[in-house]
Structure 1
Amino acid sequence: MKKYTIVLLLFVFFSIETNGQKRKRFELDKKEVVELEKRALENNVVACLSLAFHYQNKGFNNGETHIFQENLKKAEKYLEKAIQYSEHAYSVSFERQRYPGKKAVNRSELKEMYSKSLYDLGYLYEKLKKYTLAKKYFDKSSEMDYASAHFSLGDMYFEGNGVDSSIDMALYYYKRAYKQAKTERKLRPASKIGKIYFEKLKDYKNAIMWYEKAIESGGKSPTLFENIEKSKSLIKEEINAVSTNPILQSKIADYQKIKSKTEKSLETLEKALIPLQKIKDSYFNLINERKEIIARVKNENASLNQGKSEFETQKEYDSRKSKYKALVKNSTNEIDAKIQEVLKPYQSQAHKNYSAEKALKDEFYSHEREVNDQKNILERINKGA
């Protein structure tokens, strides 16, 4: 790529910021537009993205309605071309890599261009409040793990734009954005996640963790530090409320008793099952051994088990089959005796063992249900319900 395009990209994709002023987006002059249009005709994805950025900027900042609409249509057209060209380049790059003689390609760069093209078109539709179309392209870009697309989907679910509002889905996409973003771009998703835990879920431990991640990513907003201190203070208040509330303390004591009783029941159950399990293990080992003996005897006497031939009488055939069956049956006499020996203690106490096992299991599951009920009560009390 020529130096001209690289320099141009730097101007196009980054904002210019002056002291105490709002950011102003860079607009291209006529010569630069003409040059980029030529490159766009050559299927140059970067040129298409640059032109789309230029016209989108003019579209949103121009006061005249007809010019505004024309510029946005041009931006949309160039973004669609960028998607078309980058998708094609990304797809054929598989073929290029298969043949050593062809020029090597950087698939990660092609993927970045394709996913960015999809995202930028989604961003344009979002600005126009065409949320269905915006989500369509954000989803496609998100499937390619583009961090900005994850973040925008998180915003859509958080604010309920074009979708049903969902804190769970917002968290899911913000966390994906944080994971995928480069270190210097983790600030925004970390801050958003912290805000959800702090304001919506009242989960102050997680709020502190994510606010600290935001600070580690370069966050310097006083709000981050203030919310960390507020979260710490609220956690202390919760602990004090629990320790001084007699009703809550009583519930906790009940929970601990039930938990202890459940653990003892489980321990008793496991001990009761040990001898039964040993019997079962021995039994199944002998059954497997029995199957192996039968298989070996059948294999060694396969000739006796063949179908009736034209050279033998029915009597000879029946005699041969009887001999085969007797051999198979007699081969298991010894192992069957061992199986009966193993099952004697189990059979003599079968009903007793079954009843004891069932009673222990019933008791254990009863205690487990009680523990879960107590947990739910504690959670409701903690949330002020």
Structure 2
Amino acid sequence: MIKIIVKLLIIGIISISFIACEDKKIEEKEVKFTPSLPMPEWDDKADKEITKYWSNWNNAKKDPKAAIKIGYAYSEELKDYKKAIEWYKYSNSIKPLPETSNYACYAYQQLKEYNEAIKWCKNAIELGSSDAFFRLGKVYELNKNFDDAISFYKKSFNETKNDMAANNLGLIYSLELKDFNNAEKWFKNAIKEGSELSYKNFSIFYHDDLKDNIKASAYAIAVIDTKYSKSSVLRLLKDDWQIPNDIIQKGYELQLTSDEFPIKYKGNLNLE
């Protein structure tokens, strides 16, 4: 009798579990994302220039990511940031996603509507976007709020090792705050993380601010044959900055022998 009761209890528990699972499936099927904003029009410009995104049109009625793709096309291919924002807002009305807010922040930044940009970037961060730390730092920098720009660039670097965040910190400290110790520190961090652009900025920093033409030469020479040609680098050092050949040669040797240079130029300079 006891065995029969136990079996009945087990069967009852299993039945309840199956019912719960089925109820959950029904609930999941019933969950639909309904936009609270009307879908933007597919205009003539889109029809002519971003036709390949037409396949996202029907999906965008309920799919926020399809709407994001159309907005991104307006932003990056047509540079129509106002129309891009319409699509981002529409996507957000279906379901808020961190990438939507991040892209909207960038579009408002391009329109120089910084207060709106800040609002969307902060929303992206609340939704879990670590990428938005850099974007928010950039908005604050453009708005001349350097304290907040520094704060969010540092968060970006600490969270994601973003080399451009470190590079921009170097620029703020050198150009805006004249804090050369911190500028040097952050340019080095950017270079450590692989920023080729920071070699150029570091070279300018050593030439303009610290008056150290050996290091200015070294950082310029190190990236020859990457983004910069040998002729353009030597024209900068010799013609624009009027650095003597013997100093340029010392810079060449420094970048070859110092551990500070992850990238090195080993070719012949032909200074004479």
TM-score under structure 2 length normalisation = 0.56
Task: Tell me if 1:124 matches 2:139.
Answer: yes
Give the match for residue 164 of structure 2.
148
In the alignment, which of 179, 186, 204 is matched to residue 173 of structure 1? 186
CA shift digits 1:230-282 (9 cap, x unpaired): 445252899xxxxxxxxxxxxxxxxxxxxxxxxxxxxxxxxxxxxxxxxxxxx
CA separation in 2, counterparts of 1:131 and 1:140? 14
Equivalent residues of 1:141, 1:149 under 8 A apart: yes
Checking the alignment, whether the CA contact within 8 Å between 1:118 and 1:140 is kept in structure 2 is yes
What letter matches 1:84 in structure 2?
E
Q: 1:236 to 1:130 in 2, by over 3 A?
A: closer
Asked if the contact 1:207–1:231 (Cα under 8 Å) also holds between the matched residues in 2, the reply is no
Within 2, Cα distance between the matches of 1:15 and 1:235? 45
Residue 145 (structure 2) pairs with residue 82 (structure 1): no
Query: How many angstroms apart in 1 are the aligned matches of 2:231 and 2:249?
Result: 23
Is the contact made by 1:194 and 1:209 (CA closer than 8 Å) also made in structure 2? yes
Matched residue SS, 1:139 = helix
Q: State which of 87, 91, 111 in structure 2 corresponds to 1:39.
A: 91
Matched pairs, number = 182
1:224 to 233, 240, 253: 233
CA contact (8 A) 2:70 2:87 kept: no
CA contact (8 A) 1:187 1:215 kept: no
Taking the aligned partners of 2:157 and 2:183, their CA distance within structure 1 comes to 13
- Cα 1:214–1:125, aligned 2, differ >3 Å: closer, same or farther? same
Q: Deviations over 1:186-225 (max 9, x none)?
A: 3421111112333444444432321123333312597632
Q: Is the 8 A contact 2:71 2:86 kept in 1?
A: no
| AA partner of residue 156 (structure 1) | I
For residues 148 and 6 of structure 1, what CA distance do their matches in structure 2 show?
Answer: 25
Distance 1:232 1:56, change over 3 A: same
Q: Secondary structure at the match of 2:81?
A: coil
Task: Call closer, same or farther: CA 1:198–1:35 in 2, change over 3 Å.
Answer: closer
**Structure 2 letter corresponding to 1:168:** N
CA contact (8 A) 1:204 1:232 kept: no
For the residues of structure 1 that align with 2:190 and 2:249, how far apart are their CA atoms? 33
- Structure with the larger helix share: 1
Structure 1 moving runs of 4+ over 4 Å: 1-4, 220-223
What are the equivalent positions in structure 2 for 1:43-54 lying under 5 Å apart?
43-54=96-107
Which residue identity is paired with 2:116?
K
CA distance in 1, matches of 2:212, 2:140: 34
Q: What amino acid is aligned across from residue 155 of structure 1 in structure 2? A: L
Give the distance between the partners of 2:107 and 2:247, measured in 1 at CA. Answer: 49
Secondary structure, aligned partner of 2:224: helix
Does the 8 A contact of 2:65 with 2:91 survive in 1? no
Alpha-carbon shift at residue 82 of structure 1 (Å): 0.6
1:62-121 per-position Cα deviation (integer Å, ceiling 9, x unaligned)? xxxxxxxxx4322221111011112xxxxxxxxxxxxxxxxxxxxxxxxxx41x301111
CA distance in 2, matches of 1:227, 1:200: 16
Partner SS for 1:218: coil
Give the deviation of 1:131 after TM superposition: 1.6
Task: Tell me if the contact between 1:194 and 1:208 (Cα under 8 Å) persists in the aligned partners.
Answer: yes
Counterpart residue type for residue 72 of structure 2: L
Deviation readout 1:11-52 (Å, 9 max, x if unpaired): 53x587xxxxxxxx44242xx534322433423111112212
Alignment of 1:149-298 (within 5 A): 149-161=165-177, 165-181=178-194, 186-220=195-229, 224-229=233-238, 230-235=242-247
- Which residue identity does 1:216 align to in structure 2? D
Q: Which blocks of at least 5 consecutive residues in structure 2 are unaligned?
A: 1-63, 251-272
Mapped contact 2:218–2:248 kept (Cα < 8 A):
no
In 1, the alpha carbon distance for the partners of 2:220 and 2:199 equals 7
Unpaired runs of 5+ residues, structure 1, are: 17-24, 61-70, 87-112, 239-385
TM-score (norm 1): 0.41
Alpha-carbon distance in 2 for matches of 1:150, 1:15: 28
| Structure 2 counterpart SS, 1:215 | coil
Paired amino acid for 2:247? I
